[in-house]
Amino acid sequence: MSAVRKITMSARSRQESVVVLPELVAHLRENRTQLREEWARRITEAELLTAMTKEEVFTETTSLYDNYVDVLATGAVEALQAYARNLSERIIPRGVETNEVVGIVLLLRDVLARSLFKKYQSDFTLLNRVLDAYEPAANRIAVTVAVGFVQERERVILEQQEAIRELSTPVLPVREDLLILPIVGVIDPQRARQLTEQLLQGIRANRAKVVVIDITGVPSIDSTVANHLVQTVEAARLLGATAIVTGLSPLIAQTLVTIGVDLTKMNTVCDLRGGIEEADRALGYRVARMEESSPRGEGR
């Protein structure tokens, strides 16, 4: 019984909102200029979007306002989603923050709600019905824009992470049998895995016998990172390559000794130059400076 009543009630309220919505939209379209100015004023007051010029704020607010009202009229958020994505693409590089974007959308919601209060203040029942129609739609819009912005941001972050990852782990063949793996930046488990895999592929592809792993560019080392290094060295050994770790700063060396990581299996040298010299010795290379008297383009 009560369920039936609930259904009829919700059906009625939906019907009512259908009746009220066009009126609401018409009101918002009529007062477009005034409400938009009010909104822009509030944005300036709240010191949002400071990274953009006044004209830009004006253009963006205009199109956002129109989009907003369109969504209220049609209930279709797809166009707004596309717009939010597009907007985010444009403003994220400018340094606009999430709180600003959410803030301006919520401000618009408030400005419009105020204007509705003002218009329907004489008739409380009607005001209630108008708000019933307005609030869910407005909230959905706020969520859509915020989600669109955050998604775009996450996409940018993912892209950058990917770029860093690709850039940061080159495996460089220096001589026959000798590879250098310079590591720059923080080593996290995922990166350690990728480093090791690339190194192992490199060892196989170049048939390397010695690998110099240079960690000059690694800011800090804890026991996890140290273990990753030990694993990398061990994996290289299983493919028949000796690993030499170079670039341990005094601070890092002290840290490793203090936290008691067992690095006895690791062959370490203090700088990359020393590491390459050591590798040359192991491979039987001898690097010698050319004689002063040797002909350098002489007689040609």
**148 vs 202, beta carbon nearer another protein:** 202
Alpha helices, DSSP H only, in the chain?
Answer: 2-30, 32-45, 54-74, 78-91, 98-120, 124-168, 189-206, 223-238, 250-259, 272-283
Q: First vs last Cα of the chain: how many Å apart?
A: 109
Q: How far is CA 46 from CA 54, 184, 195, 295, in A?
A: 14, 42, 47, 75
Shortest approach of another protein to residue 283 CB, angstroms?
12
Contact between 200 and another protein per CB under 8 A: yes
Q: Quick count: other Cβ atoms within 10 Å of Cβ 285?
A: 14
Which residue reads 């477009």 in tokens?
32
Contact between 6 and another protein per CB under 8 A: no
Among 123, 135, 197, 262, binds another protein (CB under 8 A): 197
Inter-residue contact 228 to 192 (CB < 8 Å): yes
**174 vs 235, beta carbon nearer another protein:** 235
Shortest approach of another protein to residue 207 CB, angstroms?
6
> What DSSP assignment string belongs to 253-284?
HHHHHHHT---TT-EEESSHHHHHHHHHHHHT
Contact between 204 and another protein per CB under 8 A: yes
**59 vs 190, beta carbon nearer another protein:** 190
Query: 3-state class of 40 per DSSP?
Result: helix
Shortest approach of another protein to residue 228 CB, angstroms?
10
Q: How many residues bind another protein (CB under 8 A)?
A: 18
Among 6, 14, 54, 207, binds another protein (CB under 8 A): 207
**21 vs 195, beta carbon nearer another protein:** 195
Interacting residues with another protein between 222 and 281 (CB under 8 A): 231-232, 234-241
Residues that bind another protein (CB under 8 A): 193, 196-197, 200-201, 203-204, 207, 231-232, 234-241
